[in-house]
Amino acid sequence: MSKTQRVLAALTNGEELTAKQIATRYKVANPSSTIHALRSQGHAIYLNARKGYKGDTLMKYRLGTPRQSARTA
């Protein structure tokens, strides 16, 4: 299983991952490139801001469903 497939599997299972988590867990050198590759394959991956436990803002990737207008286009 490739690194990109492992990241997709984690997102499909409902995990929300930061770029740092993707880099360390799956040993991906450039997480944004991996996300771009998955998006170009047609996966609806979103980057959302979440509050961390220290009150800081974390940017997390998640897999979602595309809007109706994006699906019909």
Return the CATH number at 29: 1.10.10.10
pLDDT digits (tens, 9 = 90+) for 54-64: 889 999 999 99
- Average confidence score pLDDT of the chain: 90
For residues 7 and 69, give the distance between their C-alpha atoms in angstroms, rounded to a whole number: 26
Distances (CA, A) of 46 to 1, 23, 26, 54: 23, 17, 19, 23
Could you tell me which residue, 33 or 50, shows the higher pLDDT? Answer: 33
Task: Look at residue 21 and tell me if it is in a domain.
Answer: yes
Task: Look at residue 70 and tell me if it is in a domain.
Answer: no
pLDDT digits (tens, 9 = 90+) for 5-17: 999 999 999 999 9
Task: Look at residue 42 and tell me if it is in a domain.
Answer: yes
Task: Look at residue 71 and tell me if it is in a domain.
Answer: no
pTM flag (> 0.85): no
Please give the average per-residue pLDDT across 31-43, as a whole number.
95
DSSP 15-35: --B-HHHHHHHS--S-HHHHH
Question: For residue 21, is pLDDT > 70?
Answer: yes
Task: Look at residue 17 and tell me if it is in a domain.
Answer: yes
For residues 49 and 29, give the distance between their C-alpha atoms in angstroms, rounded to a whole number: 22
The tally of domains found in the chain comes to 1
Q: What's the gap between Cα 40 and its chain centre?
A: 13
Structural domain range at position 36: 3-65
